[in-house]
Structure 1
Amino acid sequence: MAYTLDRDPCPESPRLGAMTLHPTPESVPRARRWFKKFIAPYSPACSVDDCVLMISELVTNAILYGRSDEPWLVRVEWFRDGASLRVEVHNPGFPANVRLRRPDAEEAHGRGLLLVDSIADSWHSGPSAFGGTVVSFVMADAWL
């Protein structure tokens, strides 16, 4: 399986890195490891563990809900926007299907976006520039 990682070669760009992942369960721990490794040189002040948890949830959702008749990949990108860190997860699903749920206590699933909503300073979903859906979160004051 081919996976890719890349850092933006342009030092003025706010993009710090990106990865593409196959839509398989093994990609979730891979996304966590790679993000931790490639964000470390930037020394963010925000909790990297919180970011890793949210990435896990969003990559899991992207794998579960991404749909395409063609082979597809999940794309994760992270950016520095001033003092904030923004992480985007792209898949070929439908933007209108992203919604925050409040599952009952006995439900085993449906808490991913609820976690993102409670940890991130903000989050957004909508059409992806790559086609499909993007769900992103922002950690404010990631760089003081």
Structure 2
Amino acid sequence: MAYTLDRDPTPESPRLGAMTLHPAPESVPRARRWFQKFIAPHNPACSVEDCALMISELVTNAIVYGRSDEPWMVRVEWFREGTSLRVEVHNPGFPASVRLRRPDANDAHGRGLLLVDSIADTWHSGPSRFGGTVVSFVVADAWPS
């Protein structure tokens, strides 16, 4: 299967969904569509479109900056933590290479994390539990308390 989506329906787990994508440009709109489809039954009060936009930016970065000598995938997971939504994007890149840039007006690239920084309540990068890098964002008050 080229693309997979898995969900963890156990009530003990805060994970609402996950998808695994090939590191290819067509995975970016696919991630956005799948997230929008599979978050909808959970009725978040936050802007699903804003979250999908941030996922698009992080999946794009994962594809551009992910590095491995072996075949690899981009993994996206989303969790409900109390009233917050947390989204993680994993790739085999190097955690130290994730940085917030301040591009000049004429720069064609470099605004992905800046966009996430301006929309999300918080974001984080570091080592992924799958190896490589994870970049995550949190939207507070995604559900009523």
Give the gaps of 5 or more residues in structure 2: none
SS in 2 for 1:80: strand
Shift of the alpha carbon at 1:9?
2.8
Deviates more, 1:4-13 or 1:55-64: 4-13
What is the aligned residue count?
A: 144
Q: Do the aligned residues in 1 keep the contact of 2:21 with 2:74 (CA within 8 Å)?
A: yes
Q: Cα deviations across residues 31-85 of structure 1 (Å, max 9, x unaligned)?
A: 0000000000000000000000000000000000000000000000000010000
Matched ranges for 1:75-90 at <5 A: 75-90=75-90
Q: Give 1:69's aligned amino acid.
A: D
Runs of 4+ in 1 over 3 A off after TM superposition: none
* Counterpart in the other structure of 1:68: 68
Matched ranges for 1:122-137 at <5 A: 122-137=122-137
Pair 1:97 & 2:63 matched: no
Shift of the alpha carbon at 1:10?
1.1
Give the gaps of 5 or more residues in structure 1: none
Q: Distance in 2 between matches of 1:137 and 1:57?
A: 11
* Counterpart in the other structure of 2:33: 33
Deviates more, 1:6-15 or 1:98-107: 6-15
Q: Give 1:40's aligned amino acid.
A: A
Q: Identity over aligned residues, as a percent? A: 88
* Counterpart in the other structure of 1:46: 46
**What root-mean-square deviation, in Å, do the aligned CA atoms of Structure 1 and Structure 2 show?**
0.6
Matched ranges for 1:17-28 at <5 A: 17-28=17-28
SS in 1 for 2:76: strand
* Counterpart in the other structure of 1:56: 56
Q: Give 1:135's aligned amino acid.
A: V
Q: Distance in 1 between matches of 2:2 and 2:10?
A: 24
Q: Distance in 1 between matches of 2:73 and 2:81?
A: 25
Q: Give 2:136's aligned amino acid.
A: S
Shift of the alpha carbon at 1:12?
1.9
